[in-house]
Chains A and B, each alone.
Chain A
């Protein structure tokens, strides 16, 4: 049996290798045709030895016979691979090797990929693209399913054919928009100003700026839908900055019609200095109540690499009052940084403005970051935290205590 295999191997080698060697030299001529149908030779394989003993190297024969066909098919079109095409090839091979690589890559993305400074940066970028593609695909599938369901439902209703009569007028989205805009316009005249400081472009990466703008768009949306909206100011806003370009991507032509104030001026030039309060998590002062006469400033910055004290430094430089949300006073903090996203800040400030109820306002802090509200004495809550952590994480008691001490420093 073994000698037979050996012999077979030899035959296969001798017949194929010259071609392979020859081919290896000009492999650049090879096109991207891997999905070649080899059904013919497979059938032959099956038919000639259905009952023979197991041939362990049969797969090599199959792989190599496929190649002969390919060679005969394509010995033409000599071309130099450009670096872009080469990168595309590499990506394709990575995908075949089972790494997280998107199926479709645009030329622009490919260029960004090639400009990544390190291997790990490349991997990260590819994973990001891959996940993006995956989400997109899933969304598309869901949309399709939804449409089918709707069509089905429509068919059913048309069968029953029952005219519904409602005593209320159907309020369309455009009508709602008008109402919201009316309120926002009012806030631009009478509303309390809320400033977003747009001077952090230098401190952020391109991705972070994009995220910032996304969060700002969301906060603007929340504000518009609020009962009593703020008058939003974007201060220190430079035309044609990265912020501006990202905003245009999101809003398109609606950017010019937004009911907010956008200015190149600093907030210190627009408002009296003694009324300004800079909100920053690094501030040593803790906010006690929401003051309707003050003008709060929020830094438009997404800070993924935790640069401490950037916004505090800005407030210090201008000599402004600062404040932090009283997160420790009201919440039993669990994990995560104490800087919140811009839309969460917006929600919290809106709620405070309407109700002055800290508990209600701090509902908008993500649930994973805290264990509960401080209603009971802290010592009792500490026990709960201990219990939760030992149950959930299996953490040791001392560690939990250490974390507690970190979150609640002795005064």
Chain B
């Protein structure tokens, strides 16, 4: 349906309605298309007038649609009118209408009313994050930073996750303000980014930089840079935090891996108690390893080569300087077959320790266990992202730990054209927002959206105090 360009008389609306296929929903369809094509508000008004004259009442859904149109065009006085009407016409409003009111009013000089509406909405349900965001933006826009932060903390307390947009607005609006309390809150946001391993995007990073540079007296300077593989910042020569977990975190993680990933609800699902015990004694007797290899995963790197040759290449590539290797595989690898030649298997077994799991067991869980058990220096080799194992961990904190540990300890083998393998080494440094008090290092994304969770940004913002 094409909405008309000018307000129509009742008769004209009637005619349109009768020509419509389903006259019962004519108004809703028409209003929807008005919202889509952003029609002038008078046209919608004339439709409502027509409806009111015909039925003596305007249905709630139609009013909400009209409200959507008003909000879209920022017609504040109309929004107020609709609110007055709805408030007396209906006993309570539903959360969708509240969201619209809040969104519509927060951009105007009536923004305080949006705050009271937010309070009202809380009585029914937890308001959406967009409602919180509009209120926070409205408050910080009017220099009421304290109020904005109150709302922000309330939001976090209710497990409503703020978008980067609202976090950015905090930095934008407090630029140039002198307030120790405010500074603390903003540092708090940066620490929130750190704890949740969130990376700001480019424009957000710019806001952070500008805010730092606007603090008078302390003379912060920001530089964009790339961090070297060694983890040293080229601007301030500061060494970034290394990717090792603390003793406590490390123990916590290995405990949780054994409990949640290997055992889970039923040990038999991934292995069997006998097999796991056998594996444990095997590992304990031969500790510690330097590199643990997922044999089956590595053996599929080059599809044109035999599986065992792939594995042999990988072992030869990694077995330098007396490192102790452990290769995990399954029993079927021992059967002489076209892909697994017995002689080559024998040769490999002289160079590395092998553990063969049952054919129906999951070897990845063993991989994690052996690596963690060998200690912090031990790395593992697989192309698998281990997402399903991460998903077995029950809380987000442990999942973050796992991610961090994985970044620091996973080696990925890549095939090149001529050389046998190239290693993509594990990260030496930890890729999170970090501070030493007089410096801040903030990794940021070039693009707005982060495509893969395993990818970490390589670009950094270095901020230091002169």
**Chain A residues in the interface with B (C-beta under 8 A):** 16-17, 19-20, 23-24, 27-28, 30-32, 34-39, 41-42, 45-46, 54-60, 62-64, 66-67, 71, 86, 89-90, 93-94, 96-98, 119, 203, 284, 308-310, 312-314, 316-317
Contact = CB atoms under 8 A, between A and B. Distances in A.
Given A309-B269, A317-B266, 19 more contacts: A19-B88, A24-B88, A27-B91, A28-B91, A38-B57, A46-B53, A56-B45, A59-B51, A59-B53, A62-B53, A62-B56, A63-B58, A66-B57, A90-B124, A93-B92, A119-B125, A284-B360, A313-B269, A314-B268
Interface stretch (B59-67, B315-323, B440-448): B59-67
Contact of B64 (A24, A30, A57, A97): A97
Nearest to A32: B91
Given A17-B84, A20-B88, A97-B94, A56 B58 contact: no
A56 B61 contact: no
A58 B286 CA distance: 87
B203 interface: no
A46 B49 CA distance: 12
Contacts of B7: 54, 56
A80 to B, nearest CB: 13
A30 B91 contact: yes
B346 interface: no
B126 A119 contact: yes
A373 to B, nearest CB: 29
A94 B51 CA distance: 21
B270 to A, nearest CB: 8
A309 B124 CA distance: 42
Interface of B is mostly: helix
A77 to B, nearest CB: 13
B94 A313 contact: no
A23 B92 CA distance: 13
Binding site secondary structure of chain A: helix
Q: Could you say which of B28, B49, B97 has the most chain A C-beta atoms within 10 Å of its C-beta?
A: B49
Contact of B89 (A19, A41, A63, A86): A63
B87 A20 contact: yes
A30 B48 CA distance: 25
Contacts of B64: 97
Nearest to B43: A56
Contacts of B56: 37-39, 41-42, 62, 66
A86 to B, nearest CB: 8
A60 B57 CA distance: 10
A45 B52 CA distance: 10
Interface string B212-246: 00000000000000000000000000000000000
B96 A60 contact: no
Contacts of A59: 45, 48-49, 51-53, 58
A308 to B, nearest CB: 8
Interface size class of B (residues with CB under 8 A): 35 or more
A27 B269 CA distance: 57
B85 A63 contact: yes
Contact of B88 (A23, A32, A97): A23
Contact of B53 (A56, A58, A64, A316): A58
B53 A45 contact: yes
Contacts of B87: 20, 24, 27
B89 A34 contact: yes
Contacts of A36: 57
Interface in B12-41: 28
B91 A89 contact: yes
A31 B91 CA distance: 7
Given A20-B84, A93-B60, A56 B266 contact: no
Q: Which of B7, B51, B56, B360 has the most CB of A within 10 A?
A: B56
B92 A62 contact: no
A244 B42 CA distance: 63
A94 B94 contact: yes
B73 interface: no
Nearest to B7: A54
B384 interface: no
15 contacts: A17-B84, A42-B52, A45-B53, A54-B9, A56-B45, A58-B49, A58-B53, A59-B58, A93-B93, A94-B94, A203-B265, A312-B268, A313-B266, A313-B269, A316-B272
B377 to A, nearest CB: 33
B76 to A, nearest CB: 14
Contacts of A314: 266, 268
B374 interface: no
Nearest to A98: B61
Contacts of B94: 90, 93-94, 96-97
A57 B272 contact: no
Interface in B326-368: 359-360
B439 interface: no
B418 interface: no
Contacts of B93: 93
Contacts of B42: 56
B90 interface: yes
Nearest to B273: A317
A345 to B, nearest CB: 22
Contacts of B97: 97
Most buried by B among A45, A56, A90, A94: A56
A94 B61 CA distance: 9
A314 B64 CA distance: 54
Interface in B72-101: 81, 84-85, 87-94, 96-97
Contacts of B270: 309
Contacts of A38: 56-57
A170 to B, nearest CB: 48
A57 B7 CA distance: 12
A31 B88 CA distance: 11
Contact of B268 (A19, A63, A89, A316): A316
Given A64-B85, A119-B126, A284-B359, A34 B53 contact: no
B46 interface: yes
B124 to A, nearest CB: 6
Please name the 7 residue pairs, one residue from A and one from B, whose CB atoms are nearest each other, closest first: A38-B56, A313-B268, A59-B52, A96-B60, A93-B94, A62-B52, A56-B45
Contacts of B89: 34, 63, 66-67
B31 to A, nearest CB: 11
Nearest to A46: B53
B49 A56 contact: yes
